[in-house]
Structure 1
Amino acid sequence: MEQNDICLRRQLKKWFLSCVLVAFMLAQGIAQTGSGTIRGQILTADGNPVPYVSLTLEGTGKKASTDNDGRYEFTGLSAGNYTVVVSSVGYRTAEKSVALNGDDRLTVDFMITAANTQLQEVEITGRKESSYKNTSTFSGTRTETPIKLVPQAISYVTKEVILDRQGFKNNEVVKNISGVNQSSYNNNGFVVRGFATSNRLINGLRMGSSGWNQSSLPNMERIEVIKGPASALYANTSPGGTINSVTKKPLDEARKSVNFATGSYNTYRITTDFTGPMNDTKTLLYRLNLAYQNAGSFRILQDAQDMVIAPSVSFIPDDKTMVNFDIVYSGTNGRLDRGQAIFGATAGTNLNSTPISFAIGKESDYQKEYHLYSTLSLQRKITDYLSFNASYMKYLYNENLEEHRTSNRYAVDADGVEIPTLMEMQTIHRVGKNYTDNLNLYINTNFNTGSLEHKVVVGYDHISAVSPVGNSNYNAGGYLNAEGTGVISGAYRPENRDRYLIRDNMPVPNVPHFNLENPDYSITDIANYVNVSSPSAPTRYYLNGFYIQEQIKWGKFNALIALRQEYYSDMLNYEMADEERVEQNALLPRFGLVYTPIEPISVYATYTEGYQPQSAGTIGDPQRFGGPFDPLISNMVEGGVKTEFLQKRLVMNLAIYQIIQNNVLVNAGAADNPDLLRPIGQERARGVELDVYGQINANLSVTANFAYNKALITESDNPEEVGQVFPNAPVTQGGFWAKYVFSNRALNGLGFGLGSNFAGERFGSGANRLRLPPYMVVDAAAYYSVDKFRLSFNLNNVFNKEHWIGGFDYNRLFPGTPRNFLVGVGYTF
């Protein structure tokens, strides 16, 4: 018992001494903890904040990291001398020594510079800028070049604008780009400088079919529009402009974020973005973007689910070799929205005769599509003056569609009199896929001859697109024959009345008419109709392009001279006994000159030509669209000024241009084929554009644009069309978006956004030339950031303005979204 007491006393003594020691250590810690603060902001040389920069207080073990606005803070500091050290991969280390007295609140700002200013030649690692302004582009010259030195207008939206507007689809953000207007809800439904554009690029490589649904944005770094013909760089492209989507690339510093959003029309959305090094030497980098959205719409039956899976890996074993690999899956499960149908088929018809939510279709309709593509890029420096660059993309598009749609005409009675409350219908069940391969090889060399600096690119492109055997359509339409045993395709012809089945003085349709006054959206089995299965002809087109480009710098002048030789082959009924082949070739020049009288100002002029074949492999199934047609041939003259203000934080670009295009295609308005196209001759666009990007100060960010563009038909087989404004091409359009974030102590972390977009009147296509009224829509937002959380509230179309973004005719109008909101919460770690 005594022995136990001794042991107990020893244990109590140890416990007491331990408590005393802990109390002493805590007292020391408390005694050493002060109330002083060192805070500040890290900026680049051009005034942009630098997020995720590491800072240390030398000798204290204290560490901090900058937030999205480049701000940092050390708290709980005692009086003394401190050295603040800033370090970040890609920037030179910086340090400052300060003396802290008592409860001082010192502000210590840094301006850091890049450790290596050499530009990439293939986009391997990601963009570190975190503002509305983007400094460089690969799309204008195929190598990274400051935008101010590219002799052509290149407009864009960055991921920061996408984040602040909580954009998820392409059409939600391209309205922030001058000269771009929507003509429909479809992914290829854009008009740039008055010209319909269908060719799309991803990282400067040709994608396959753009599909129906708008492209998703969660894995995009920025969206660029190369204004005017880009054929001298990218082969067959649209003359008004080419949309290039740039995917997010890995960064050599760890960043992770998760965002959730919900709002109007039962929208639910989650996105993630993880990036950073995979090893200690940072030779292996990764990025992973994931996204899922389930959302409805103000349009009837237009709910959809979207998913994006996008991993990316960069390998940089040494300073001479860089490799990047992307693979992206993007899928949508929804229905195809053909737009609003209205009563009446003449110009001046009341657009409000049906509600803007009005759609034509059935609950059982569906539209499932997915895109799967992978990209491999390599840059290898052979010497300090010579490098080899290669990029390859494999692209798969897959579609499974079933829809009830109009035949683009009203129902008629047995005498052929139109009934404007009934629409003639057809059904389409289409299954198909296509594959696109894009290989780009080029050599880049830099050298000097006297006072001239040369940058020469010599390259080769190969693009191949195949629509294989097996693509097929299963269609129903037309009217029942007199016996009710078969179908007479096409429009009803009253002169052949005896051939049709007539009931209640009306021909009986194969697919029941759609009643605009009493719509029926119930489930319908298309097997109840008389369907005709028709295979789509297999097609393949491929091109081989050889080009040379030289950029010459002499003092304040930068000249660009480029020439591309294009060889194009198109095959209808590919690899079949009756294969038809079309061969074309074109020599495409490009000339540009940039003059920089003083550092913030560049003046430029350019001339370039465009070429775009319009045969089966490019346009699609000739049974649906017609053709082959003569190629689109275009040219552009452009001049402008590119300026930088406020220590390069703010950019303003002005462009003046003329574009002429021959062999333009428009919808033929054929009664028997609603997709048929026809050429109209020549179109000319003349206009002025203004784009503004960047920061007015550390608190205020802005992007703004304005365009004046007159796109007229100047030649046509139909004299009445000459002088008409091209469909869906407003003469004026523009808008802005501004964000202000408070930095004072009381409101720190709070921010507001405000923006507006407007477009002048537009006209549809076809004989009726429906007029779409001008509109202006106002959007607003509020943000609050605390610690690693960010709360966002976006209110779009604040004043609930009824408007139409585009349209073709009386049964295909595309109204804009009414007032809607989105609430988001994000966590960065």
Structure 2
Amino acid sequence: MKNSIKQFNLILILLISSSFTVFSQTGSIKGKITNKGGDALQFVNITIKNTKQGTISNEDGEFLLKNVKVGDQTIVMQFVGLKTVESKVNVKANSTSEVSFALEESSSELSEVTVMGVQSANEKTVNIGKIAIKPMDLPQAVATIDRTVLERQQVLRLSDALMNANGVYIMGNTGGYQEEIAGRGFAFGSSNTFKNGARYFNGTLPEMSSIEKVEIMKGSTAILFGNVAAGGILNLVTKKPKFESGGSVSMRLGSYNFYKPTVDLYGSVLGSKKVAYRINGTYENGESFRENVNSERVYVNPSLLFKLSDKTEIILEGDYMKDRRTADFGIGAINYVITGLPREKFLGVKWSYFDIKQQTANVTVNHQISNNWKISGTAAYRAYQSELFATTRPTSIATNGTLVRSIQRSEVDEKYLMGQIDLTGQFKTGKIAHNVLIGSDVDSYDTKTTAYTSAVYDTINVFSETIVDKRSDRPTLAVNTITTAPVNRFGVYAQDLVSISDKIKFLAGLRYSYQETKSSALAVRTNVTTESSAYDDAFSPRLGLVYQPNKKMAFFSSYSNSFTLNTGVDIYGSALKPSLIDQVELGMKNELFNGLLSANITVYQIKNSNLAQTALFDKDGKANSNTNIRELAGEVTSQGVEVDIKSKPFLGFSLLAGYSYNETKYTKSNIYIVGSLLRYNPNHTANASIYYTFSDTKLKGLNLGLTAMYFGERMAGRSTRLTVANDAFKLIQVNPYTQIDASVGYNFKKYSIRGKVSNILNELSYNIHDDNSVNPIAPRMVSLTLAYKW
């Protein structure tokens, strides 16, 4: 028996050794492609002749082909308007062959109308999806706002970028220090906002100078991330290290004494072919169209790339941001009517502030096991600290304009840890192809919130021509409560995209999530601690079907289920169960005019059929007035349609446009009027951007752009309560508006100059939270950016 075991072990070792020998008989081809003028060419198609292996060059003209068979291989390089080039490359085992090419213009092709070889909206996979599935094969609406758009529009804030995304919008900016995001009628909290795949605290303004692209997955993503809001998720992808040395420096100047120098450096470390770096940094300082409001920011984003081999790489990334700005809760409302004060009028005290510090660190390991299998792991850490010291929101302005100002102070200290591992692979069972994702994630929050007592400060009249502070001191406030709220989550998930044929594909997946939520609140005055805990778990299924009658068209349908946790207890004192949310989505994706234009349409319904609301009666049948005692008695339904249009560059023009309609309302409620709309969500949004770049003329290097966004009518204020006699709550109707921005840029060799005029029509509208943070949108403003790139 022992001899048999030894023989078996010997055979097994030989088989494993031979397998490694077979797999090792591959190498890599690394190269760079330029035109005859030495300029890097992006989106050149590179393939190995007589195989299906291929890739495209990046923005620096670089490409890398992995796992290429040893020996002489012929690579083919194709780009519309340039001559196709074939070249032999000798590939050696376990090594990288480096090549470079300069492509020439093709007169025969240039005489025709051509489309540049950029990827369409339906060809770009999103990193946040955890698996490389082309949008054409995915039964879900996705969108990517890439660096080209961000640079052309001279994006400063995330809200500028979201002018290009219908159905995802800014629902408020409470205090002027954050941009509250929503989509399809549901708010995106920090659980729905990601940076490089890790959850990012969105209670402050993210720095956009380091962002390479913005990814949006609409609808349910619960299978990938657990309890996320139903409307979708947003992922900010930062710029990555490069082995080629380069960089840029720029200075942005703008209205209201705004200035922002920025630096971006990248290259190999000490000439190494294994280690590359990148570092972005910026300083920002400016005043505001709002009186006595200003801001200052410091930001740095270093990263390192380690190429351990052709199959294994490690990326280390981190950033640090320190931001200080005036807390500004807007112009207020009187009896649920906006005061109508001048856009610039500030009702707070001059010394008020909101300070934040945020540090993040990420490590990502990618290993290509074989041509078809890949394993990836990510670990992330985030530390966030903030302090708010300001007047409270102007909630009780008298009809004559009298406002008693009170002072508030609070501090937040949050630590966040995340770990994630994913295995992706492709294989076949007979003629059926599979694209599989198997993964697990765990994350942990530890949040400490210190709330101080509030105190009356002084009294002003908001209609006074000039607001004069009657005091200038910062009062001493006593600590009121200290609350710690640890949250621990764990999830495992599996998903398979099954290609039954070239035309029919089926997506199926399932996730199990477990979450522990605890809270400990210390009332400092009484030294009494109140504790609570909840343990929740849920399964989140996902099913989708894609039918592609041809390679340029796809029809899809999908069903998914997600959950959201609830606070409070039921009438028996037990922790309230999670609310379950069902989503159905139907759509069509098209590549029209031979891929020149992507045109997609999506319709959806999202239903939370067990929405938590205040219980009407307690366990003894008596009327209940405790808002912490709740029941799953409500229902919210969101229905809508979205249209997305995006073109490739054509004769110098490029187009990006979209439209969305959404209606989110109470379809069952024991508190609010059935049929009433949820607040902050516009029924209609639309966007359109058009750009033109001059070429082969005396104006070569000049580009022009126009961006328009329509933001429809929506409601703020407070929803009327059926359970309160003569309820004084009212909704505030917020007017629609259209914002138009114009941009112009000129590139000359390594220099560029860009100008922008935002809100050309000087439109006035408001972002409103309840009835107490009524913040006007920015008026017409001008900015100018000078840059040098090498």
Of the candidates 168, 171, 182, which is equivalent to residue 180 of structure 1?
Answer: 168
- What is the CA–CA distance in structure 2 between the aligned matches of 1:666 and 1:91, rounded to whole Å? 64
Alignment of 1:622-661 (within 5 A): 630-661=577-608
- What is the CA–CA distance in structure 1 between the aligned matches of 2:211 and 2:562, rounded to whole Å? 27
Alignment of 1:303-314 (within 5 A): 303-314=294-305
Q: 1:631 to 1:367 in 2, by over 3 A?
A: same
One-letter amino acid matched to 2:259: Y
Alignment of 1:308-323 (within 5 A): 308-323=299-314
Q: 1:324 to 1:295 in 2, by over 3 A?
A: same
Q: 1:192 maps to what in 2?
A: 183
Q: 1:96 to 1:820 in 2, by over 3 A?
A: closer
More displaced 10-residue stretch of structure 1: 653-662 or 248-257: 248-257
Q: 1:10 maps to what in 2?
A: none
Q: Does 1:819 align with 2:780?
A: yes
Q: 1:682 maps to what in 2?
A: 635
C-alpha contact 2:598 2:647 (8 A) present in aligned 1: yes
One-letter amino acid matched to 1:738: I
Of the candidates 715, 734, 742, which is equivalent to residue 772 of structure 1?
Answer: 734
Q: 2:507 maps to what in 1?
A: 560
Q: Does 1:145 align with 2:133?
A: yes
Q: 1:467 maps to what in 2?
A: 447
Q: 1:778 to 1:824 in 2, by over 3 A?
A: same
- What is the CA–CA distance in structure 2 between the aligned matches of 1:534 and 1:636, rounded to whole Å? 42
- What is the CA–CA distance in structure 2 between the aligned matches of 1:43 and 1:517, rounded to whole Å? 58
Q: 1:436 maps to what in 2?
A: 416
Of the candidates 411, 417, 425, which is equivalent to residue 405 of structure 2?
Answer: 425
Question: Structure 1, residues 353-379: CA drift from partner, whole Å, max 9, x if none?
Answer: 211223321111111102111111111
Alignment of 1:358-397 (within 5 A): 358-397=345-384
Of the candidates 706, 721, 724, which is equivalent to residue 676 of structure 2?
Answer: 724
Query: Secondary structure of 1:148's partner?
Result: helix
Q: 1:220 maps to what in 2?
A: 211
More displaced 10-residue stretch of structure 1: 519-528 or 423-432: 519-528
* Cα distance, 1:182 vs structure 2: 1.8
Structure 2: state its 5+ residue gaps: 1-35, 47-55, 64-78, 90-95, 523-527, 616-624, 719-728
C-alpha contact 2:43 2:118 (8 A) present in aligned 1: no
Q: Does 1:345 align with 2:335?
A: yes
Q: 2:622 maps to what in 1?
A: none
Query: Secondary structure of 2:335's partner?
Result: coil
* Cα distance, 1:221 vs structure 2: 1.4
Q: Does 1:743 align with 2:695?
A: yes
- What is the CA–CA distance in structure 2 between the aligned matches of 1:820 and 1:403, rounded to whole Å? 27
C-alpha contact 1:40 1:71 (8 A) present in aligned 2: no
* Cα distance, 1:585 vs structure 2: 0.6
Q: 1:591 to 1:755 in 2, by over 3 A?
A: same
C-alpha contact 2:713 2:735 (8 A) present in aligned 1: yes
More displaced 10-residue stretch of structure 1: 769-778 or 45-54: 45-54
Q: 1:179 to 1:785 in 2, by over 3 A?
A: same
Of the candidates 571, 594, 597, which is equivalent to residue 546 of structure 2?
Answer: 594
Q: Does 1:331 align with 2:353?
A: no
* Cα distance, 1:421 vs structure 2: 1.1
Q: Does 1:284 align with 2:275?
A: yes
Q: 1:20 maps to what in 2?
A: none
* Cα distance, 1:168 vs structure 2: 1.7
- What is the CA–CA distance in structure 1 between the aligned matches of 2:629 and 2:714, rounded to whole Å? 22
* Cα distance, 1:392 vs structure 2: 0.8
Percent sequence identity is 21
Query: Secondary structure of 1:233's partner?
Result: helix
Q: Does 1:355 align with 2:342?
A: yes
More displaced 10-residue stretch of structure 1: 686-695 or 420-429: 420-429
C-alpha contact 1:406 1:424 (8 A) present in aligned 2: no
* Cα distance, 1:340 vs structure 2: 2.3
C-alpha contact 1:42 1:71 (8 A) present in aligned 2: no
Q: 1:540 maps to what in 2?
A: 486
Q: 1:40 to 1:586 in 2, by over 3 A?
A: closer
Q: Does 1:712 align with 2:665?
A: yes
C-alpha contact 1:39 1:71 (8 A) present in aligned 2: no
Query: Secondary structure of 1:573's partner?
Result: strand
Alignment of 1:428-507 (within 5 A): 428-468=408-448, 471-477=449-455
C-alpha contact 2:121 2:143 (8 A) present in aligned 1: no
C-alpha contact 1:181 1:728 (8 A) present in aligned 2: no
C-alpha contact 1:388 1:442 (8 A) present in aligned 2: yes
Question: Structure 1, residues 98-134: CA drift from partner, whole Å, max 9, x if none?
Answer: 99xxxxxx899799xxxxxxxxxxxxxxxxx988958
- What is the CA–CA distance in structure 2 between the aligned matches of 1:92 and 1:321, rounded to whole Å? 21
Question: Structure 1, residues 712-743: CA drift from partner, whole Å, max 9, x if none?
Answer: 12122235x21112111111111111110111
Q: 1:205 to 1:42 in 2, by over 3 A?
A: closer
C-alpha contact 2:194 2:200 (8 A) present in aligned 1: no
Q: TM-score of the superposition, structure 1-length normalised?
A: 0.75
* Cα distance, 1:320 vs structure 2: 1.8
Of the candidates 255, 258, 261, which is equivalent to residue 267 of structure 1?
Answer: 258
- What is the CA–CA distance in structure 1 between the aligned matches of 2:519 and 2:381, rounded to whole Å? 22
Query: Secondary structure of 2:681's partner?
Result: coil
Of the candidates 700, 711, 715, which is equivalent to residue 763 of structure 1?
Answer: 715
* Cα distance, 1:399 vs structure 2: 0.3
Q: Does 1:162 align with 2:140?
A: no
* Cα distance, 1:569 vs structure 2: 0.5
Of the candidates 655, 659, 662, which is equivalent to residue 702 of structure 1?
Answer: 655
One-letter amino acid matched to 2:753: L
C-alpha contact 2:381 2:418 (8 A) present in aligned 1: yes
Query: Secondary structure of 2:223's partner?
Result: helix
Q: 1:382 to 1:51 in 2, by over 3 A?
A: closer
- What is the CA–CA distance in structure 2 between the aligned matches of 1:524 and 1:676, rounded to whole Å? 42
More displaced 10-residue stretch of structure 1: 807-816 or 216-225: 807-816
- What is the CA–CA distance in structure 2 between the aligned matches of 1:798 and 1:675, rounded to whole Å? 47
